[in-house]
Amino acid sequence: MRTLWTKHGEAITTAICALFVLAGALIARAGVSSWVADGFFLIGYVAGGYRQAIEGTTKLVRERELDVDLLMVVAAIGAASIGYWFDGALLIFIFALSGTLEGYASARTQRDIESLMALNPEEAVVLRDGVEVRVAIDQLQIDDVVLVKPAERIPADGVVLEGASLVNQASITGEATPVHKTTGSDVFAGTINGQGGLRVRVTKPAGETVIARIIALVQEAQERRPPAQLFIEKFELRYANLVVLGAVLFVVLPTTLMGWTFAAALYRAMVFLVVASPCALAASMMPALLSALSNGARNGVLFKGSTFVEALGKIRAVAFDKTGTLTTGHPIVIDLVVVEDSDASALLQRTASVESMSEHPIGVAIVAEARKRGLAIAAPTEFQSRIGVGAEGVVGGMPWRVGKRELFAEVPEVLIAEQARLEAAGNTVVLAGDERAKLAIALRDTVRPNARAAVEALRKLGVEHIVVITGDSEETARATAREVGADRVHAGLLPADKVRVVEALLAEYGHVAVVGDGVNDAPALATATVGIAMGVSGTDVALETADVVLMADDISRIPYAIELGRRALRVVKQNLVIALGVIVLLVTADVLGRISLPTGVIGHEGSTLLVTLSGLRLLQRIRIS
């Protein structure tokens, strides 16, 4: 019962309020003693209004701020004091109902978090000194070896050391079809193992797994409020004080200057207190934005805050990183070119040794090629990553560099010519050597199958400009841009160059999204109106910097997210127009003496319910034509 009350207490008290208000109305209509009917109304008052009364009074006492909750309670008590028990009870009920519906959107997002948390098993079986030990998930350490039996959830992000199985990754990537995993495959915490047993080496602690980052992002998003909502909340405080002042004047002026009775003036003041209160205005934004957050989370798009739902709806240009974003990020080595009859295997061995310290997809591909050829890889000393350019280190006492042409003091003409030929064919080419380049490595990455469809969907949504920004060569970048249908290419960029390109796009288009996955994308992600990171393959720096995360690295979700943002903006604008319009209409009618308290309650609280329900429309999955 306690759990039920904790989860559904607000809905239960609202239902109790409704029952007693209805019972009181039926008793009054039947002509039974008014004291009996008023008693039922009083219980309805308490059930539906006690939370608002406590919260509003606490805020008034502690922070000396008057809020809408307390205004509604005061208006209801004022109505009862002059004999309008039913009108006050109806006000309390409708106000409680609107609050319950507003909380529904937040509860949906909270349930999303709870369902994500439920994906993580609480314990894991670890091999320590040849003995199987059951430990809590938070006690797992990097390089621990865990045993995963058939049909169990994988307890940590890691790499398969032994075994083969089909793994259901739908909770992380959204893929409906289980993925075959074997030695060397990456696996994620919370995914479900199939029929095979696996031994997995842990690569990330419990708090840094993909699923843990997703949970943290959703929780962070709930806590952030957009600037427009903060403005409304500040405005609401000042406005509430003006409403109270207006209600006082409604009592004082008519009784002193116009000869009204106190009861008549107080009645008109209570009507004003109800119809002028900004309840609908306060409910115009957050239910809609929280619904959009929940919608996105259920469809593979995590917003770090409702601010970014708004911002994404205004996007006019999108800049894509190439490697790992438009492409799969898993290039393979397809050719080696050496100079002066050098030993290709020896040069590749040194290059792979340097790249063994790198997490860049190109480095991973070079190491994989060396291992495929059975070459021994040694850990380099004095390793240094040159972001956007390459890497260097000392291997076997010899300095060795891997990267772009500008990293070398001398590049033989034969390598320059071969690099141009290979890049013209759409390959990525890196050079390796000491001061002098001695080896050219050609790699090919495949464009994501849904990349072109995503670009076409963005165009249908009216996104004006699609650009590729990459540190890769001009020829390779242009080949990728042609394949996906992008408008323009900016190639050979360092991180600072990407920032300058994004700043130029911002100056031209005003609202720009950048999509990336790597460390070198982080400055551009931070500069953009909205930074979008790949959730599975993205680096920690990119994920921390970005405003939106694609859970399954599915760039086809970007058009969905933009359309969701646009619909959220439309719904919020519609709600604000409705809220302000109803307030102006009802206040005007009250000033002219043309509206009763029941009509004012129904009109004002009805508009609050309307905008709240309007916001909840965004919980529905949207279709992009």
**Would you name the residues annotated as active-site residues?**
321
Distance CA(484)–CA(458), nearest Å, equals: 12
In the DSSP assignment, the letter for residue 620 is S
Contacts for 446 with CB less than 8 Å, ≥ 6 apart: 327, 328, 330
Distance CA(512)–CA(495), nearest Å, equals: 17
Check: CB of residue 240 under 8 Å from CB of residue 67: yes
CB atoms within 10 A of CB 387: 16
Contacts for 178 with CB less than 8 Å, ≥ 6 apart: 166, 167, 168, 169, 194
Check: CB of residue 404 under 8 Å from CB of residue 431: yes
Contacts for 111 with CB less than 8 Å, ≥ 6 apart: none
Closest CA to 318 of 456, 463, 415: 463
Q: How open is the CA angle 77-82-87, to the nearest 5 degrees?
A: 60
In the DSSP assignment, the letter for residue 389 is T
Token code pair at residue 390? 């390459």
Contacts for 318 with CB less than 8 Å, ≥ 6 apart: 458, 463, 465, 466, 467, 512, 513, 514, 515, 558
DSSP string covering 42-104: HHHHHHHHHHHHHHHHHHHHHH----HHHHHHHHHHHHHHTT-HHHHHHHHHHHHHHHHHHHH
Check: CB of residue 351 under 8 Å from CB of residue 366: yes
In the DSSP assignment, the letter for residue 435 is S
Q: Is residue 492 left, alpha or beta, with left meaning phi > 0 and alpha meaning psi from -120 to 50?
A: left
First to last CA, the chain: 46
Q: How many residues does the chain have?
A: 625
Distance CA(297)–CA(171), nearest Å, equals: 11
Closest CA to 437 of 340, 332, 333: 340
Contacts for 171 with CB less than 8 Å, ≥ 6 apart: 116, 119, 190, 191, 192, 211
Distance CA(256)–CA(259), nearest Å, equals: 6
Check: CB of residue 100 under 8 Å from CB of residue 11: yes
Q: Is 158 helix (H, G, I), strand (E, B) or coil?
A: strand
Tell me the CA distances in angstroms from 559 to 215, 298, 304, 441, 573, one per residue in order: 23, 15, 18, 36, 21
Tell me the CA distances in angstroms from 197 to 167, 511, 619, one per residue in order: 11, 49, 39
